[in-house]
Amino acid sequence: MSVAARLERDWRRFTPVQRLARHAFYVATAATVVLSLRTVEVIPEFLYDAPAQMGDLFGRMWPMDWRYFGPTWDALVETLHIATLGTILALLMAVPIGFLAARNVTPNPALNLFAKFIFVTSRSVNSLVWALLFVAVFGPGPLAGTLAIAFRSIGFTGKLLAEALEEGDRGAIEALTAAGAPKLSTIVLGYWPQARPAFWSIALFRWDINIRESAVLGLVGAGGIGVALDTALNLLYWDQVAVVLATIFAVVVLTEMAVTLIRARVI
């Protein structure tokens, strides 16, 4: 190869189009961050004061007021019920809609879109907002909380379920359909067994998250340990707040351990 030709061999990591796109993104990100930093309303004195304030806060939290543990415990049990019932309810609703959203189960694009729209809406509305809505409809209490958890979880579980269905093995379905099985049968005996491991994994995952979510719903009156937290906060009894926080932390850790155990043994 001639010297001239050799010198012209250049190596670039990205094609020009790729480079343009990447640079565009870098610039856009930098601009957004800088713009946000400059226009956000933050009072710098508060930032400097922060360590002292946090120290003061922790000072008030310790020692913890363990007499508050009684009402905390009842509220905790209520929270667990809310999380569990909410997850179960969500799964009951998410499964049929998930089947509607999976393109291989339901070849109708309009229905797919409809199902996906339900999922997106469910995910976009924060569980606290769902709680607000249900408190307005059903009054304060755990009923509102359970429904809020349920409606928020439909999107999450349904989307993952639809994805699991779409990744399924088509061969088995083809065999069933070729043998003349009606649609419902192919769903029960063809799709469902393939989706089952994914289903339990998703259910467990969402239950774990819902325990955390349920803990805060009480702040808007939807039942659970959030109510105990709210009460203590309003009265500025930080030592009671500390008890509630410690309980929440313990529950979250225990739940994680339980979930890890179940995943290892069953799934």
- Choose, by CB under 8 A, the member of 11, 109, 179, 184 that binds another protein: 11
Of the pair 65, 123, the CB lying nearest another protein is at: 123
Window contacting another protein (CB under 8 A); options: 4-12, 99-107, 166-174, 179-187: 4-12
- How far, CA to CA in Å, does 18 sit from each of 13, 22, 266? 9, 6, 45
Tell me: does residue 6 bind another protein (CB under 8 A): yes
Distance CA 85, CA 92 (A): 11
Please give the residues from 20 up to 49 whose contact with another protein meets the rule CB under 8 A. 21-22, 25, 32-33, 36-37, 39-43, 46-47, 49
Tell me: does residue 181 bind another protein (CB under 8 A): no
- The structure tokens listed for 80 are 């667990």
Of the pair 6, 265, the CB lying nearest another protein is at: 6
Of the pair 75, 187, the CB lying nearest another protein is at: 75
Tell me: does residue 142 bind another protein (CB under 8 A): yes
Q: How many Cα atoms within 13 Å fall on the side-chain side of residue 162?
A: 26
Judge whether 247 and 77 are in contact, CB under 8 Å.
Answer: no
Window contacting another protein (CB under 8 A); options: 63-71, 140-148, 168-176, 182-190: 140-148
In 3D, which of 221, 208, 32, 48 has the Cα closest to residue 130?
Answer: 221
Tell me: does residue 150 bind another protein (CB under 8 A): no
In 3D, which of 209, 206, 248 has the Cα closest to residue 227?
Answer: 248
Distance CA 55, CA 43 (A): 20
- How far, CA to CA in Å, does 154 sit from each of 42, 52, 93, 117? 37, 43, 7, 11
212 φ/ψ angles, rounded to the nearest 5 degrees:
-65, -40
- Residue ranges that bind another protein, judged by CB under 8 A: 1, 6-7, 9-11, 13, 18, 21-22, 25, 32-33, 36-37, 39-43, 46-47, 49-50, 53-54, 57, 77-78, 81-82, 84-85, 88, 120-121, 123-126, 128-129, 132-133, 136-139, 141-143, 146, 212-213, 215-216, 219-220, 223, 229, 233, 245, 248-249, 252-253
